Amino acid sequence: MGRKRTIDRNVTMEAIESVVRQSGIAGLSIDAVAKEAGISKSSVVYDFQNKNQLLAAFIKSRIDEKRANIARAAEAREGEPNAWLRALLDCSCTPPSEEDMATAMVISAGTGTNDVCRTLMREAFNEDVCRILSQSDDPRSARLSWLALNGLLSMEYFGFHTFSEAERQQILTDIAWLMSGEPDTSLSNPQVQK
């Protein structure tokens, strides 16, 4: 009878993140993760087989963690219109930390090099869109709010722009208003100027 595995998966996920932060995606390997986690190479191979599976497992763990946080926030808004979208907004009230930004870079690099990682992200976004549209009385406003929120988060997580606390709160307030506001249809067919 084989030995029961006792490796903590969270330790491995933290080791993956640490290796990628220190050495980039190119430095991610079974050996590097085993060394960083303080476990045997065979333990890592048993769980992940190769670099692509390491990266996919890391991204999936981060998606699952984020999903759990949103689900908890959505429970508090059960019965409200746009519950999932409002939960996303609730979970976005705090600007990303340096650690959050570093994790976003790892995920971005992974989705650029790995079809499985890209599929994981695509499925998560598709799930969000479907859920948001199905819960909304005004799907157009909900979709636009979701896009605005993701635009804000992308700017912040990738370090392209930092909003002051007051600006950020105003933007979040405006996104919340947009969820239930009437869209301005005067811009639906803009004339292209030559």
CATH of the domain at 18: 1.10.10.60
Give residue-wise pLDDT tens across range 78-93.
998 899 999 999 999 9
| Nearby residues of 8 by Cβ (< 8 Å), 6 or more positions away | none
Give residue-wise pLDDT tens across range 106-130.
788 778 778 888 999 999 999 999 9
Say if 99 falls within a structural domain: yes
Say if 193 falls within a structural domain: no
C-alpha span between 146 and 135 (Å, rounded): 13
Give residue-wise pLDDT tens across range 134-154.
999 899 999 999 999 999 999
C-alpha span between 41 and 35 (Å, rounded): 8
- Same domain for 26 and 93? no
- Same domain for 66 and 128? yes
Report pTM: 0.79
DSSP-assigned letter for residue 163: -
C-alpha span between 98 and 61 (Å, rounded): 19
Number of domains comprising the chain: 2
Q: CA geometry: angle at 16 spanning 61 and 123, to 5°?
A: 30
Domain that holds residue 16: 8-49
Percent of the residues in the chain that have a pLDDT greater than 70, as a whole number: 89
